[in-house]
Amino acid sequence: MVVLMKLAAVLLCVTAFAQERKPDRVVSIVAERFTFNPSKITVKQGELIEFVISSDDTDHGFRIPSAGIDVAIPQSNKGEARVRYVAKEKGNIVFECSRPCGAGHNLMRGTIVVK
């Protein structure tokens, strides 16, 4: 039980540090008509990335399934979503729209390439 409490405290500290730390990079992404622009983003392993995501049309979502990230992107001219992500492991990480947005919704994906 004590070990679990210590582990929880460490995880909270790491999460708080990532939220307070200045991002290494800020990447703007625009969601529109079944695509993300850019749809391929290359980052370095260990970088703290802040995604600033806006929509040029309707409501969309931004989900990184492997990271447990899922946020709503407001429709055009109604704001933006901000997400912080630490690229922990090398490889290709998929992101996708998580809100049904029309006939091409299932095609609305992108890739984070971690080097």
**Domains of the chain by start residue, with CATH:** 23-114 (2.60.40.420)
pLDDT score recorded for residue 109: 94
Q: What is the mean pLDDT of residues 34-52?
A: 96
Q: Tell me the one-letter amino acid at 77.
A: N
Inform me whether the pLDDT recorded for 15 exceeds 90.
no
Distance CA 27, CA 47 (A): 12
Q: In this model, does residue 11 exceed pLDDT 70?
A: no
Q: Which residues of 12-33 are buried (b: 16+ CB within 10 A; e: fewer)?
A: eeeeeeeeeeebeeebebbbbe
Q: What is the pLDDT of residue 19?
A: 57
Q: So what's the pLDDT on residue 41?
A: 97
